[in-house]
Every structure is written in structure tokens, then in C-alpha cells.
Amino acid sequence: MKVIGIAGSPRRAGNSSTLLQAALRGAASAGAETASVHLNGLTYRGCQACERCAPEGECVIHDGLTPVFAALRLADVWLLASPIYRDGLSGQFKSFFDRCAAWEGKNRLSGKRRAAIIVTYMDKERDDYRHVAETVPFYLGWMGDFSDVEVLVGAELGPVGAAAARPDLIARAEALGKKLVREPW
């Protein structure tokens, strides 16, 4: 089983990235082959709304996301992580996710997949921020058969390193990675 993690934080060791790495460790401990991508380390453009992806289901922009899309096609499980900034997902994550539009409609990805969205933010736990995370599974459904999409929310994680100091959250993220790999499809 292949699991890919997409880190949407500008910080390589940010709180959402820390939880993503914990989830990947959990998946690896369950026997999965794992890989991760830090979007902020790539050079890429947002969707250009050119609609040239429609005939074949492939984005025609060739940039830092091109190999990421190839890896996503092969992955059984997608782990998607982003901090909440200004009441929404990070700009890096949003630009990446907009480019996934090539897989909508008649170009949906084949095969069943699982996914998890991990979001972190500084404020106390808030339903509206959970809702931001819960919109992602809806969009994943446009792209393919994502039979099981989990949401992990990390609230009250202000400074860099706050997630690493929360063993409860690290354990939940690791358990999430294991669950997505181990549970029957």
C-alpha cells in the first residue's frame, strides 16, 4: 500500500507538518510505503482555468507539481495537511488543490482511495474551522472514489513546535495513519 503526505504549511516543521509526519509514521508502522511532499519547497502555479486538462485529465502546466500528481495517482491513501490561516487553508494548499481539478468529472481517478485532512490553528477549538477541514472530503469525492476520509483537528497550537509538545495529538495522528492502512477496504 502506498501513502503520500502533502504538507501545505510554509513551515517545514510547522504544527500541521508535525502531525502529518506522525500520521506517516503510523502508516509506515502498519506496513505502508510512505512519501511526503512539502508544497512550500516546490515552484508551481495555481490553476490557470485554461480547461486544457479536460480532454485527458492531466494538467498541462509542467512545474513542481507534475511529479506530485504522478505520485498521487499511484497512492492508495492521501494525507493532506494545512494550517488554518485567515479562516481558510493555506495559500500553498489551496493552489495545489485547485490544480487537482483535472481529475473532476469524466476524468475522475480510478480505484478506491482513502484520505485524511489534518488542520491546525492557534485558536481554541472552533466548529467553523472544523468545517473548513470538512469541505476537503467533499471535493475529493469529485475527483474519485475516496471511500473513507478522516479529519484530524489540532486546536490551540500557536507557536512552532506546539504540536510536538502535545503527545495526545501525536498519538492521534499516528493512530490515524495506522487506521487508514490497516482497516479493511
* C-alpha R_g of the chain: 16
Evaluate whether 137 touches 149 at the Cβ level (below 8 Å).
Answer: yes
**Can you give the pLDDT at residue 106?**
87
Per-residue pLDDT averaged across 148-158, rounded? 93
> What single-letter DSSP state applies at residue 142?
H
> Is it the case that residue 147 has pLDDT exceeding 90?
no
d(CA 60, CA 69): 12
CATH number of domain containing 70:
3.40.50.360
Looking at residue 185, what is its pLDDT? Answer: 78
Its pTM stands at: 0.96
**Residue 53's domain spans which residues?**
2-182
The percent of residues above 90 in pLDDT, for the chain, comes to 85
Paired residues of 38 in beta bridges: 7
Domain count of the fold of the chain = 1
Q: What is the pLDDT of residues 64-76, one digit of tens each?
A: 999 999 999 999 9
